[in-house]
Amino acid sequence: EDASDAFQELRDRCDVRVLVESGVFAGLRAPVPAATVREMRRQFKLSKGQMDRCCEMVLLRALDRRDAEAALAYRLFVKSRLYRQNEEVLAGLGREERNAKLHEAFRAVEEAYRATLRSVDERLPRAQ
């Protein structure tokens, strides 16, 4: 059963806060190795989807948008997950349309993450 959007956002805020406070992401940049994500998932007892979202949010929170290489790596990291999540639908599209759909999905996800992070940052010092 899927959680309601409001409950999912609350869960995201709480889990992101715990991950940031724990310091497990200190020094990590996208792409985070799958083994590292699996270990964090096990350690914090999060579902795969929840860990993926939280990992992406914590990385976005620390991302220096002026660093073009880091921004590209982050964008490709998120788009890779989005592609895997929607592979059946996207595989039937042409390359240009598939890339456009992935970019549109990335923008929507990034906007939602930024909204969640604003709420997290109200309660958490930026230095972490």
User: Catalytic residue numbers?
Assistant: 1
- In single-letter form, the type of residue at position 118 comes to R
Q: Which residues of 33-68 are buried (b: 16+ CB within 10 A; e: fewer)?
A: eeeebeebbeeeebeeebbbbbbbbbbbbbbeeeee
121-125: long-range contacts at Cβ-Cβ below 8 A with a sequence spacing of 24 or more? 121/61, 123/17, 124/17, 124/20, 124/21
